[in-house]
Amino acid sequence: MPADKIIRIVDSHTGGEPTRVVLTGGPDLGTGPLNERLRKFKDEFDHFRSAIVNEPRGSDAIVGALLCEPVDPTCSAGVIFFNNTGYLGMCGHGTIGLAVTLAHYGRIERGIHRIETPVGIVQAELHDAEHVTVHNVPSFRTASGIAVAVEQFGMVTGDIAWGGNWFFVAHENPLEIRLSNLEALTDLCWSIRRALNANGITAPDGSEIDHVELYGPPTIPGANSKNFVLCPGGSYDRSPCGTGTSAKLACLYESGNLEPGQRWVQESIIGSLFEGSIHVDDGGIYPRIMGSAYVIAESSLFIQDKDPLRWGIRECQPTQVRQPG
């Protein structure tokens, strides 16, 4: 197959949530710190993001993971995560998927591996071919009991917390968390996001709170709760969300409902599980999230100059799709 550009990718899923690791053929972002490389990715190479995760090659649920050379020589890898609409600071399920993928190719062995992300270094502890504990960035709650009037649902209160991404962790949820309620759960989370934006409620640095988490009673014995997480691009997390569970653990700790070292089992809407705990060091809350991932495909993406949709379906580019005739 003649292709003007070939991108080699490996797909895995972590508790049902897909991760697409880009092994080769991604954009050349240089060798600077990962947050600078992320800026370059956004500003100059966003078409690669769209080509890799958007239709027709991908879907709204896929999180891309661009494998990068780390700056810090003590790190095994660097990674920049992205999705159907933009970029993620960190991604818990994606880090588990990345570690399992690297192990699949014999690039890492069992043990603890430092991984650079744009929001700091995390550690991935590979237990065996599928099981990984992510030692996440310090997580924290910045506001509690924030009340917003949500269209069609009334007042909803919740906490604002960081777990590598920004989350609104709702206190109330009138809906049962099950797949047959997907549309209503998604509507509620979008409405919460709209209400946060309409009321100018942001993270302390002005960033948008772009993930919303709802909680309900668990259905799997041994789990502590079941969640629904709406991601920035409108897709829901099939896994219990690593950064979302980290944010939740920080909220539980800060409200006196979780002790350091205490086990918290988070069930996702599809019934997959992450096991979490925190340790506290010098006032910082450090979450650990354990989950499993499976490699499901390896493939090559072909970018052909003659293909009008070679960079994926994205916000209208007038020159991208030629009119017939």
User: Pick from 64, 97, 218, 242: which binds ligand PYC (CB under 6 A)?
Assistant: 242
For the bound state, the minimum distance from the C-beta of residue 189 to ligand PYC, rounded and expressed in Å, comes to 13
For the bound state, the minimum distance from the C-beta of residue 15 to ligand PYC, rounded and expressed in Å, comes to 9
For the bound state, the minimum distance from the C-beta of residue 83 to ligand PYC, rounded and expressed in Å, comes to 7
185-193, 233-241, 265-273, 316-324 -> range binding ligand PYC (CB under 6 A): 233-241
User: Pick from 241, 290, 295, 303: which binds ligand PYC (CB under 6 A)?
Assistant: 241
29-37, 91-99, 152-160, 279-287 -> range binding ligand PYC (CB under 6 A): 91-99
Q: Is 269 an interacting residue with respect to ligand PYC (CB under 6 A)?
A: no
89-97, 144-152, 181-189, 251-259 -> range binding ligand PYC (CB under 6 A): 89-97
User: Pick from 91, 146, 160, 249: which binds ligand PYC (CB under 6 A)?
Assistant: 91
Q: Which of 91, 189, 231, 251 is catalytic?
A: 91
Measure CA 317 to chain center: 27
Q: Is 12 an interacting residue with respect to ligand PYC (CB under 6 A)?
A: no
For the bound state, the minimum distance from the C-beta of residue 206 to ligand PYC, rounded and expressed in Å, comes to 21
Q: Is 237 an interacting residue with respect to ligand PYC (CB under 6 A)?
A: yes
**For residue 98, which of 122, 73, 72 has the smallest C-alpha distance?**
122
Q: Is 17 an interacting residue with respect to ligand PYC (CB under 6 A)?
A: yes
Q: Is 275 an interacting residue with respect to ligand PYC (CB under 6 A)?
A: no
Residues 126-155 that bind ligand PYC (CB under 6 A): none
C-alpha 275/C-alpha 98 separation (Å) is: 18
Q: Is 93 an interacting residue with respect to ligand PYC (CB under 6 A)?
A: yes
Residues constituting the chain = 325
The count of other CB atoms within 10 Å of the CB of residue 73 is 7
User: Pick from 22, 29, 63, 119: which binds ligand PYC (CB under 6 A)?
Assistant: 63
Q: Indicate if 68 belongs to the active site.
A: no
C-alpha 23/C-alpha 7 separation (Å) is: 8
Asked whether the beta carbons of 65 and 81 are under 8 A apart, the reply is: yes
User: Pick from 51, 231, 258, 273: which binds ligand PYC (CB under 6 A)?
Assistant: 231
C-alpha 119/C-alpha 232 separation (Å) is: 17
The count of other CB atoms within 10 Å of the CB of residue 171 is 15
Handedness of CA 222, 97, 203, 229 (dihedral sign): negative
Q: Is 15 an interacting residue with respect to ligand PYC (CB under 6 A)?
A: no
Asked whether the beta carbons of 223 and 273 are under 8 A apart, the reply is: yes
Q: Is 176 left (phi over 0), alpha (psi -120 to 50) or beta?
A: beta
C-alpha 276/C-alpha 111 separation (Å) is: 18
User: Pick from 133, 191, 227, 239: which binds ligand PYC (CB under 6 A)?
Assistant: 239
In this complex, which beta carbon is closest to ligand PYC, that of residue 244 or of residue 310? Answer: 244
C-alpha 70/C-alpha 102 separation (Å) is: 14
Q: Indicate if 241 belongs to the active site.
A: yes
Q: Is 31 left (phi over 0), alpha (psi -120 to 50) or beta?
A: alpha
Count of residues touching ligand PYC (by CB under 6 A): 13
- H or E element: which one contains 194? helix 182-198
- H or E element: which one contains 47? helix 46-53
Beta bridge partners of 78: 68, 116
The contact set with ligand PYC (CB under 6 A) reads 17, 63, 88, 91-93, 165, 231, 237, 239, 241-243
> Mind telling me the catalytic residues?
91, 241
